[in-house]
Amino acid sequence: MASSNNEIEYEFLPLIRVYKNGHVERLIGTDSIPAGTDSQTGVSSKDVTNIIPETEVYVRIYLPNLRNKNKKIPLLVYVHGGGFVSKFNQWPLNFSPVTT
């Protein structure tokens, strides 16, 4: 008999598999780009993870490579309105628009 930790509650193939113990396994879209400096554009990013300590809520902040440190730059705030099923905020295609 299979352990209850390994019993599948349901699958939404090819995206996710949900186990009876609440664990969710992403089957695709798990590539990520760590925070740091983009070598092509000089845009740097930093993850702030302690916004709400008891949750996994965090933000990624991007800062362009500024030649003029006194120049004001626009602030762009993007709030994702739902869950990330097969991709997430560190997914490469989410990273590209803010570094160009």
Model pLDDT for residues 31-66, shown as the tens digit of each residue: 777 888 988 888 888 988 888 888 777 788 888 888
Query: Beta-strand (E) ranges in 1-100?
Result: 8-12, 16-19, 24-26, 44-48, 59-63
Residue 20's pLDDT is 92
Which of 23-27, 29-33, 68-72, 80-84 shows the lowest per-residue confidence on average (mean pLDDT)?
Answer: 80-84
